Amino acid sequence: MRRVALTLVGAMLLALLPVSVGGCNITCGCASTPDPNWTPPPITAVEAAVYGAKAAGVPVMTAQLAGGLAGRQFYQADAPGAMALVDAESGMVLEVVLTDRMPNDDAVSIASSDAQTAAEAFVQRNTGLSTEGFTVSVRVMHQAGVAAYEVDWNDPTKFLALVNASSGAVFAFVDQRMPMNLAPPIVGRARATETAIATLGIPGETVTSADLGADYGSGDAQVWAWSIGLGVPSATQADVYEHGALVSVDAVTGKATIVKS
């Protein structure tokens, strides 16, 4: 009987142990002391991920607080080939970028009317916004070696969509109803990679990584850039890659900067 009793007591202690350990970070402050003035935003990360996924047209996203612009907090929601910026107070999706649809050349293969049709369908289907009754303008943009259509609605609410001028695919959306300085990227992965390789100018380079990210700097402007990792041949053996280089390519202007060589 005594052995049975001890076994039961041990089982009870083991059952209680995870609760005590798991609660340590909350009650005893053994890991870190939370800021007593910090309060969570009205929108949770889970909600932001749901809103972002719907606007981007992907099954699922993950989201985390990324910073702030114009005095407002926001979440950045991510999925393979897609990003979304979600206002942490209202849940409004401020921006969507679909990296796999971005232009990589300067070709214009579709008419402006086709670009407008594609943009309207995307906005209505993905964001639920109606373009009916708005003043719309469509213009083709040629910059940084790529081409895109900008479809802009303004009467007086303003939002825009960017369409790949070669494929006709919508690759970016920006809701400009809030006074935030958002500048969606236009330079695609392949074009950015070509620019990085040409900028470094070392024969035999190989691309090891290519990631698009947004930097919010001082909190008053958004800057999109590709981080291109390059493998550079060893000085003694041309077939052995042991040196790494990193080139940053501005996804709006196409300007390249060697970060590491």
Task: Mark out the alpha helices in the chain (DSSP H runs).
Answer: 2-22, 24-27, 45-56, 112-122, 189-200
Put simply, whether the predicted model's pTM sits higher than 0.85 gets the answer no
Alpha carbon separation from 204 to 70, 226, 240, 241, 249 (Å, rounded): 44, 21, 10, 9, 20
CATH topology of 33-98 equal to that of 102-181?
yes
pLDDT by residue for the chain (261 residues), tens only, comes to 444 343 433 443 334 333 333 333 333 334 445 556 567 789 999 999 999 999 999 999 999 998 778 788 899 999 999 999 999 999 999 999 999 999 999 999 999 999 999 999 999 999 998 888 889 999 999 999 999 999 999 877 789 999 999 999 999 999 998 888 888 999 999 999 999 999 999 888 899 999 999 887 666 778 999 999 999 776 544 454 456 899 999 999 999 999 987
Of the candidates 191, 208, 187, the residue with the CA atom closest to the CA atom of residue 260 = 208
Q: Where are the domains of the chain?
A: 33-98, 102-181, 189-260
- The pLDDT value recorded for residue 69 is 81
- The pLDDT value recorded for residue 22 is 32
CATH value of 33-98 in 3.40.228, 3.10.450, 3.40.1350, 1.20.1300: 3.10.450
Pairing of strands 241-250, 146-154: unpaired
Please answer whether residues 168 and 162 qualify as being in contact, where contact means their C-beta atoms are separated by less than 8 angstroms.
no
Fold of 102-181: Nuclear Transport Factor 2; Chain: A, (3.10.450)
